[in-house]
């Protein structure tokens, strides 16, 4: 199974997310703002013990989330998300996967730690380029 250390978001990101959350009640967020919130809110799913399985079993709009990661420039996360799309149609219990499915998912999840390590840099660049 997958185990990832939680991302430490810079204060700038935390403050911006809080501001956007409060503003979203008063106005429609731009696509760039929504993408940032999507990424921020999805990271805990990817960091969980069941990583990609948890993502695909969650009730989020999967395609919008994948598009959000792509929009902020995190292609290294888009690829494993797309490669694991088949998890969406599997049992809610990861233990029900066949051995080959479990092995394949574990192989895909090997890419996640490095991709998540790069995510803060992608988010900071995105904020600077698109939201400043």
Say if 5 falls within a structural domain: no
Q: What is the pLDDT of residue 132?
A: 79
- CB of 109 closer than 8 Å to CB of 117: no
How many domains does the chain divide into? 1
Would you place residue 34 in the very low, low, confident or very high pLDDT band (cuts 50, 70, 90)? Answer: very high
Q: What pTM, to 2 d.p., does this model score?
A: 0.92
> How does pLDDT run across 66-82, given as a tens digit for each residue?
999 999 999 999 999 99
Domain that holds residue 84: 11-131
Given a cut of 90, whether residue 49 has pLDDT beyond it is no
Say if 116 falls within a structural domain: yes
15-23 contact pairs (CB < 8 A, 24+): 16/127, 16/131
Say if 6 falls within a structural domain: no
Q: What is the pLDDT of residue 4?
A: 62
Say if 109 falls within a structural domain: yes
Q: What is the pLDDT of residue 3?
A: 59
């Amino acid at each position: 199974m997958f185990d990832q250390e939680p991302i430490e978001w810079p204060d700038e990101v935390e403050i911006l997310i809080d501001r956007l959350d409060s503003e979203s009640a008063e106005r429609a967020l731009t696509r760039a703002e929504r993408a940032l919130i999507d990424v921020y809110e999805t990271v805990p799913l990817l960091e969980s013990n069941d990583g990609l399985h948890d993502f695909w079993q969650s009730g989020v709009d999967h395609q919008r989330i994948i598009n959000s990661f792509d929009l902020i420039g995190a292609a290294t996360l888009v690829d494993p998300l797309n490669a694991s799309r088949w998890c969406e149609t599997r049992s809610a219990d990861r233990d029900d996967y066949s051995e080959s499915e479990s092995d394949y998912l574990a192989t895909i999840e090997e890419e996640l730690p490095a991709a998540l390590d790069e995510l803060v840099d992608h988010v900071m660049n995105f904020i600077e380029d698109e939201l400043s």
